[in-house]
Amino acid sequence: MSESVSDTPPLPETSQTEAELAETGAGFATAVEHAAPFVGRPAAAPANVVGRRPRRGDFVYYGLRNKKLVVGVSLEILFIALALIGPFLAKYPPNALVGPGLSHPNHTFWLGTTNLGQDVFSQVVSGLRMSYLVGLLGAVCASIVGMALGFIAGWRGGIIDEIIQLFTNVLVMLPALVLLIVVGAYLQNRTIFFEGVFIGLTTWPWVARAVRAQTFSLRSREFVDMAKLSGKRPLSIIAKEIAPNMASYLFLVIILLFGSSMLLAASYDFLGIGPTNLVSLGSMMNNANQNAALFFHLWWWFIPPGVLLTGMVAALLVANVGLDEVFNPKLREQ
């Protein structure tokens, strides 16, 4: 591809999405690219994909120079490392009663102990693993369902699109946490798999919306028409023309989903409707709260899990913004 710069450098094509907005009556699709795949916290979704495909060389060059991406990824790697090797550093099983209760952080117990005498550090690193696991499960599940439905809706259009949209909008309105409380009341034994799948099945609408908008936008682009005219079959068009352009966008969406899954799991675990008898960052905060950690100033019990979780998700968000800038030249600072 030549590097010729035309009179006015290419701007992200907004006309497609605006036309689509007009078609579908503004209200539904308007928020798509701006209401986040980051569940529940309204935030900016990744920007619209620029028509021109960035080359791999570009990625590395800009990627390494993007502060946000570098900082975010490095932090995240740190956390993941902690989750992986932490349990080997931890001397005790998370739930074992190993010391005097209510102790401050000290040499033996790096983050102190709970009211019963469990090692907080061991619990924290165990909980880290749980969080990543659930995050992964939720993100994968939501991505699969959301991408499939979103793509079908965007590609086929028509009545199939309307039905899927209806389904999506309905699901978004049902408060998932309340639903889980109700389900949890009947289902006494829950696994981490269940939690991950539940999160996936309740957050896929956000992915579907975003994927649908992108598909719509890309479907009517000129290069797809060209491919159709040249007689390529639909599957080939999807694989060669559409997928690469969507890939970067989807990647960003999945990262956001990963983060939101972790946060949702924290809320669910805090309320005790997470996996039964599993130590997680959310359940630690729950236990702390139930045992009057606030009153007894047991800050080491609930602050580390919270700070860690915030850090993990914030690193993802920042890396996400950085990655968005790498993919979309227009967002880069001059």
Site for other proteins in 171-210 (CB under 8 A): 172-179, 181-187
Number of other residues whose CB lies within 10 A of the CB of residue 179:
12
* Cβ nearer to other proteins, comparing 126 with 242: 126
Binding-site member from 35, 75, 192, 201 for other proteins (CB under 8 A): 35
* Cβ nearer to other proteins, comparing 73 with 238: 73
Binding-site member from 14, 74, 191, 236 for other proteins (CB under 8 A): 14
* Cβ nearer to other proteins, comparing 71 with 192: 71
Residue 234 CB, nearest approach to other proteins (Å): 29
The answer to whether 10 contacts other proteins (rule: CB under 8 A) is no
Stretch of 75-83, 140-148, 245-253, 270-278 lying at the interface with other proteins (CB under 8 A): 270-278
Dihedral sign from CA coordinates of 139, 141, 147, 150: negative
Give dist(CA 172, CA 210) in Å, integer. Answer: 13
Binding-site member from 226, 243, 247, 294 for other proteins (CB under 8 A): 294
The answer to whether 87 contacts other proteins (rule: CB under 8 A) is no
Residue 259 CB, nearest approach to other proteins (Å): 7
Residue 278 CB, nearest approach to other proteins (Å): 16
The answer to whether 5 contacts other proteins (rule: CB under 8 A) is yes
Q: What does the per-residue mask of binding to other proteins show for 208-247, with x meaning CB under 8 A?
A: ----------------------------------------
Helices marked H in the chain — which ranges? 15-23, 27-30, 56-65, 67-89, 120-156, 158-173, 176-186, 192-219, 222-229, 234-237, 243-270, 281-290, 299-327
The answer to whether 277 contacts other proteins (rule: CB under 8 A) is no
* Cβ nearer to other proteins, comparing 93 with 329: 329
Q: What does the per-residue mask of binding to other proteins show for 41-60, with x meaning CB under 8 A?
A: xxxx--x-------------
Stretch of 102-110, 213-221, 245-253, 294-302 lying at the interface with other proteins (CB under 8 A): 294-302
- Three-class SS string for 126-179? HHHHHHHHHHHHHHHHHHHHHHHHHHHHHHHCHHHHHHHHHHHHHHHHCCHHHH
Residue 60 CB, nearest approach to other proteins (Å): 15
Give dist(CA 224, CA 204) in Å, integer. Answer: 27
Residue 116 corresponds to which tokens in the numbers above?
């019963």
What phi, psi does 272 have (nearest 5°)? 85, 10
What b-and-e string marks burial along 210-249, b requiring 16 or more CB atoms within 10 Å of the CB? bbbbbbbbbbebeebeebeeeebeeeebbeebbeebbebb
Residue 97 CB, nearest approach to other proteins (Å): 24
Binding-site member from 82, 136, 148, 303 for other proteins (CB under 8 A): 303
Q: List C-alpha distances in Å: 257 to 136, 200, 205, 224.
A: 9, 9, 11, 29
Binding-site member from 150, 200, 259, 322 for other proteins (CB under 8 A): 259
* Residue 295 buriedness (CB in 10 A; 0-12 / 13-18 / 19+): exposed
Distance of CA 212 to the CA centre of its chain: 17
Residue 235 CB, nearest approach to other proteins (Å): 32
Q: What does the per-residue mask of binding to other proteins show for 136-175, with x meaning CB under 8 A?
A: ------------------------------x--xx-xxxx
Give dist(CA 119, CA 104) in Å, integer. Answer: 11
